Structure 1
Amino acid sequence: MNLVLFAVVVTLVLFFWIAKRQSADPYGEFHLAFNKLPTDKVEAAPRTEWLNMGYWKDTDVFPEACEALALKLVQASGCKPGGQVLDVGHGSGESLILLLTHPSMARPSQLTGITSLAAHHQRSQARVARLDQPVPVFLHAGDAVYRPGSHGHPLDPSSEDQFDTILALDCAYHFRSRTAFLRQAYGKLRPGGCVALADICFTPGALQTRWTRWVTAVLRLMPRENMVSTDEYLAQMRGMGYTVRLEDVTSDVFPGFIRFLGTRGLGWKTFGGLMGVFAGAGARFVVVVGTKE
């Protein structure tokens, strides 16, 4: 490694460390500040609790962009009225509330959710309980991927639960692993059901470069096994039995999210800069729908 490249690497690592330090939140609630609007009173809690990168095509407001990405995912899934829906990685519950209350949503007959942070699980339970709506909701705390001993896990192959739609909004690239999750999801879908993901993969060939692998490792966005190209992503799902379609929405996600982070102080601005490098290194934000025939 030459001295110039070494300096760049050290600088990026230092900036990333600063960003992580400034944005650290041991309670997993940093996103609440992101949801605050300029018109909100300082002491007031935000009206929404979104936690995704957003779909910025027609807005520059964080909660509006996040809702737009959630709506795009649900609409892509073709969610039908009266279906049984599993929302994986729902954070502190905003996507659950959208499925239960948004006027454009087809109401499920049953809604199940799972999220990995206990604090988010508890917060989601409290928020859903306050809603005046008739749909039964079952929430679980745990990893997205079922492992033996995970009592009550919605993807437990020994349970009789089945789903018409499984949603993973901006989270599946974190799973260990995404392929394990997709295989388990396939086993729990009814015929004609689908899994829909707002996810990150890479342009074909991008992962051949050390630079792309290094930037991804620095950002700590995903384990190595989830780093696949768009072509590999589609091939993996087809190999599991899915009929698949993929839409690349990178241009309506990364630039707007990076601009927003630039307004949130030095730490988040630095992280946004690294996200720009990540996109430039071949990362793609995609909406993927896999149907079980």
Structure 2
Amino acid sequence: MASGNDSLVTEFILLGLTQEPELQVPLFFLFLGIFVTTVVGNIGLLVVIGLNPPLHTPMYYFLFNLSLTDLCYASVIMPKMLISFIKKNNISYSECMAQLYFFAFFVISECCVLTSMAYDRYVAICKPLLYKVIMSPQVCLMLMMGTYAMGFVGAMAHTGCMLRLTFCNGNIINHFMCDIPPLLHLSCTSTYINELVAFIVVGISVIVPSLTVFISYSLILSNIFHIRPTEGRSKAFSICSSHIIAVSIFFGSSAFMYLKPFPARSLDQEKICTVFYTIVAPVMNPFIYSLRNKDVHVALSKTLKRKVF
């Protein structure tokens, strides 16, 4: 740390998920396996969707972007997390701010992708005759451009507000990543603006998408129960249930994490909660959307046969 009137932090120490010595090695191998599975699963889904024209539809276009965001933000977080299990984990101020920016960018983008997927399923089930018109390639592209624009604006807001703070209350972050709450605990300047921006950005990127998803699936479920053929009803419910599981894990844990008042937060609880939407969700999504999807099974078998023969 540099000397002066204020003690300015130039480097942080990430404590990691736990400080218990007997848990360090088992957790390292557990999360290493999760990280490898996340990378392989999401890259596999990207390749399968990209190489198979029958999957070039709006539903799989959004799933492609979901896998991309999962892969990216897991790669932003998990390597530094794994280091904290085996040695002292230092991260420079600039690296910390960069990690915060990309984490916020991809998490906010994922919120919007999941919302777009809910809207796509609503149109497909409730307005099937107009599906190709409403979910045209131009509309899908605009939705994804809006998604990444929201991620960019939200990440810039969070990171810009964090850059204005002075950190002089120590440099030990009680977390496995540079997240907003643990960084605010280290600030010796007012964090009011940061907290206000966090509530606004999280409100827009979590509450609004959550309400959109809830309304979409309420209408979908109402429509499903009016589908007379049992086969059609079960197929529609199977597709939607996969998305409901993914949305519940992601939005539930992120809302619990960021919509509490900052003074009432427990950093240990936040670390466990963060694991769900930063680590559990990215590793589960490829399985949720592939194991329950016959189209992906067929495309995967064709891709493997093409590579082998």
State the TM-score, normalizing by the size of structure 2.
Answer: 0.27
State the TM-score, normalizing by the size of structure 1.
Answer: 0.28
Which of these two proteins has the greater Rg computed from alpha carbons?
2
Name whichever structure is richer in helix by fraction.
Answer: 2
> Which one scores higher on RCO, CA 8 angstroms, separation ≥ 6?
2
Name whichever structure is richer in strand by fraction.
Answer: 1
